[in-house]
């Protein structure tokens, strides 16, 4: 039972940070250098010293570590669909919070169907 809570927390960390990573990384396409190595280093510097990108990225990576640890005690056939589908939902909610256009009625119907599927997967394993 606790594994489901940990997987939900992983989905919150992944999905909740995705729009913030996207927003924090805005402007990286403006960086132009003479060769590929200098371009890579300039982009790396831009991301590393940009707290609006770095903090959500680090939280996202904490979710990856937690996911890895949770997989040791969890059935893989349940962990993957639950985490990925809930990540999708939390990404939409976070994106809406940031003012992104997440779609109309079809999106909300899809969210409801995904949530119903997750509940069915969890009830089948209980």
pLDDT of 21-56, one tens digit each? 999 999 999 999 999 999 999 999 999 999 999 999
The region that residue 99 occupies, defined by phi over 0 for left and psi between -120 and 50 for alpha, beta otherwise, is left
Is residue 126 predicted with pLDDT exceeding 60?
Answer: no
pLDDT band for position 120 (50/70/90)? confident
- Dist. CA 115–CA 95, nearest whole Å: 18
pLDDT at 15 (0 to 100): 95
Residue 97 has a CB neighbour count (10 Å cut-off) of 12
Q: What is the pTM assigned to this prediction?
A: 0.84
Report the SS3 class of residue 7. helix
């Amino acid at each position: 039972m606790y594994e489901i809570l940990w997987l939900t927390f992983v989905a919150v960390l992944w999905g909740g940070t995705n729009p913030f990573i996207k927003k924090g990384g805005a402007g990286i396409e403006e960086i132009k250098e003479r060769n590929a190595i200098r371009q890579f280093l300039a982009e790396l510097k831009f991301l590393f010293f940009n707290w609006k990108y770095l903090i959500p990225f680090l939280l996202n990576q904490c979710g990856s570590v937690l996911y890895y640890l949770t997989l040791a005690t969890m059935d893989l056939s349940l962990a993957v669909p639950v985490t990925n589908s809930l990540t999708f939902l939390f990404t939409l909610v976070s994106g809406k919070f940031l003012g992104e256009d997440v779609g109309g009625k079809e999106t909300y119907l899809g969210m409801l169907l995904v949530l119903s599927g997750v509940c069915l997967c969890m009830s089948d394993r209980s």
